[in-house]
Amino acid sequence: MSTVNSTNEVPGDVTNAVSVNTKFANVATASGAINEENVRSEGVDRRTLESYTGGRREPLVFVDYDDRDNSAATVHPNQTGEGFVTISNVLLDLTASPLTVTAGDLVRIHFTAFLTGIDDGQYATWGAAGSDSGGPNRSFNPADAIGIVFFPMWRIANPGSFVPLTNEADLNTTLVSPADIVINDSTDKTDSIAFCSMEGYLDSGNCVSAREVHGTWNYIHTGANVTIYEVNLNFRGPMVYEYNGASRVLHSPIWNAGRYDITCMDIPQSPTNRFGITVGNAQLSIMVMRGDS
Amino acid sequence: MAFKWTEGDHVTSNIVDATEQNASFNNLKGEMNGGLDRENLPNSSVSNDELHQSAFVKYAVAANMRAQATSVLDLHWGDTAAGPNAFQQEYIAIDFNTYTGGWRTNPAYSIESLFQEGMLHLEFNCWYWLSNHLANGTIQGWCQFQIVVNGTPVVSGDKQYQNVGQSHLVVDIPISTGQHKVELRWRIKPWHGRDMTDPIFYYDGGQLLALNRYR
């Protein structure tokens, strides 16, 4: 409206029809819409809000998910960390109604992934040999920072390719080992990844990890609108967290060479140089919220 | 308050003086100037067009959280042919020269904000590396994460024993109107015989989300 202004009558004045009419005209001719200056703090509640089919859901703008059960479990052979694999049967396909994210929106991507296991039955993060067969030189070998990296990507151009999430590391890069994917605090973050240990137990020649990890990415968008067409879930590995003398990195080593050679950690013990990785259940969701105050 | 307007007709000589008229009129004016509430407003009268985008929620994200007070440290591996310490690799991590046990708050990342009375949804997620074992099995390390609000723990993760992994903490707590501080803290198994300069623990890719849903 917002506020109604009027002049008080002054005691002693003669009240007449003109002054009374003026005061009421101030209200009658007010042209502004009622806004927050008219409604008291916390003066509006659910009863006052217009109802919607299915109920109101502020501040949710959008929510969607997809998942896959263990029937989609797949063995991915010959993995070294040099490339990445897109996990099948778990995809947020918004192409029919693309999702527009505006400045100030909170984007929340959650995922879970189940690492069933790897085909290196003797795998251990401190080396396959252990103390018994490793001898004194290897008995104090420490666990290394080896694991499988799960990460989501999105497609924000149509037509276009899947790209890393905003300011996340380029985990979709194809490498030739030994090589690094750099991590930094600005444009190559790892906030969206989930790092899954391959540690497990020996069963039928495989290392059964049976481990689920939960990754999230919370992002308050800035700048021009972004339109999301698809979100997928990927993994690459094994990768090794290291420092390369200049940066923190996720490293793709040459397996069975250097400290992973048969005379040291012996990773992988069998097969040689590469891993078969089995991923089971997975779930991927996106939620966009609006209305930060 | 909610002012229920009752219509009345003035009659001759009904308005006896200015003060009385001002009081009557200003009562109505005051209601229009910030006193309207659900008693005045019709049911289902506020649609999406009238809603302010900040009417329901407040959110904040502390992103890119990673371990503080870290150093570049070397791990060494022995080889049957080349002998002990045949290989080494640098890591950014903490060692037992700078960690002596107990919870350690990360001072570089926190959320301190004016929250409104309602619920506060908190999430934390990060990946970690823990040099958890030696090959001879004599050492087993662990790490643990916790979210604190105004210094009080509100959720703790379990101890985690794998070499790498993911910590995921979620909690919803009632919150009062006022300035509140949300922080992350962590701890690992105290010194267990490892070389004091071995890299032991590191975490990165951390995000702390605070989502304040108003009452």
> Which chain A residue has the Cα nearest residue B50?
A35
From the list B25, B72, B132, the residue facing A243 with the nearest CB is B72
Is A243 close to B91, i.e. CB distance below 8 A? yes
Interchain contact, B59 vs A106, CB within 8 Å: yes
pLDDT for A59 equals 74
Residues of B in contact with A8 (CB under 8 A): 18, 22, 26
A-B CB pairs within 8 A amount to: 278
**pLDDT of B156-180, one tens digit each?**
999 999 999 999 999 999 999 999 9
Rg (CA), chain B: 30
Give the confidence band of B31 by pLDDT, cuts at 50, 70, 90. confident
Nearest Cα to A276, choosing from A198, A214, A175? A198
Question: Residue B152: what pLDDT?
Answer: 97
Is some CB atom of chain B closer than 8 A to the CB atom of A117? no
- Out of A48, A126, A264, the one facing B134 most closely (by C-beta) is A126
pLDDT above 50 (res B1): no
Q: Assess whether pLDDT exceeds 90 at residue B193.
A: no
Q: Which domains does chain B have, with CATH numbers?
A: 1-47 (no CATH), 57-214 (2.60.120.760)
Nearest partner of B68 among B96, B105, B103, B112, judged by Cα = B105
Listed residue (A238, A272, A266) closest to A126, CA to CA? A266
Q: Residue B118: left if φ>0, alpha if ψ -120 to 50, beta else—which one?
A: left
Domain segments of chain A: what residues? 1-56, 61-289
C-alpha–C-alpha distance, residues A197 and B16, integer Å: 86
A159 to chain B nearest CA, in Å? 30
Could you say which DSSP state residue A245 is in?
Answer: S
- Determine the Cα–Cα distance for residues B188 and A47; give it in Å rounded to an integer: 50
What does the pLDDT look like over B182-192, one tens digit per residue?
999 999 999 98
Q: State the Cα–Cα distance between residues A217 and B206, nearest whole angstrom.
A: 9
Question: Searching chain B, which residue's CA lies closest to the CA of residue A33?
Answer: B50
Residues listed for chain A: 293
- pLDDT of A292 reads 64
Tell me the shortest Cα–Cα distance from A21 to chain B, in angstroms.
12
Mean pLDDT by 10 residues, chain A (293 residues): 70 69 72 77 78 69 91 93 97 95 93 96 82 70 95 97 97 96 96 96 93 97 96 97 97 96 90 93 94 62
Residues B44-56 have pLDDT tens digits of 887 766 766 666 7
| C-alpha gyration radius of chain A | 30
C-alpha span between A190 and B1 (Å, rounded): 52
**pLDDT tens-place string over residues B105-160:** 998 999 999 998 899 999 999 999 999 988 887 778 999 999 999 999 999 999 99
Q: Which amino acid is at B102?
A: G
Closest-CA residue of B relative to A103 is B53
**Which residue is it, tokens 């042209």?**
A31
Residue B3 has pLDDT above 70, yes or no: no
| Calpha distance A207→A276 (Å, rounded) | 10
Q: Give the mutation candidate from A213, A235, A252, A283 for the B interface (greatest B CB count, under 10 A).
A: A213
With tokens 């097969």, the residue in question is A271
Q: Number of C-alpha atoms within 13 angstroms, CB side, residue A15?
A: 19
pLDDT at A53: 67
B70 close to B202: Cβ distance less than 8 angstroms: yes
Give chain B's mean pLDDT: 87
For residue A280, CA distances in Å to A125, A176, A212 come to 22, 27, 9
The answer to whether A141 faces chain B, any CB pair under 8 Å, is yes
CB contact under 8 A, B15 and A138: no
CA B25/CA B36 separation, integer angstroms: 16
Q: What is the sign, positive or negative, of the torsion defined by CA atoms of A134, A123, A142, B96?
A: negative
Q: For the purposes of burial, counting CB atoms within 10 Å of the CB of A122, is it exposed (0-12), middle (13-18) or buried (19 or more)? A: middle
**Residues 40 through 79 of chain A touching chain B, CB cutoff 8 Å:** 40, 42-45, 47-51, 58-59
Residue linked to tokens 């070998």: A141
What distance in Å separates the CA atoms of residue B30 and residue B50, rounded to the nearest whole number?
A: 22
Do A4 and B209 count as a contact with CB atoms less than 8 A apart? no
pLDDT-based confidence at residue B92 (cuts at 50, 70, 90): very high
φ, ψ for residue B22 (rounded to 5)? -60, -45
Tracing tokens 């919803």 back to the chain, one arrives at B172
- Structure confidence at residue B35 (pLDDT): 79
Contacts of A183 in chain B (CB under 8 A): 204
Which residue of chain B comes nearest to A185, CA vs CA? Answer: B64
Flag if B77 and A50 touch (Cβ within 8 Å).
no
Nearest one of B129, B103, B113 to B184, comparing CA atoms: B103
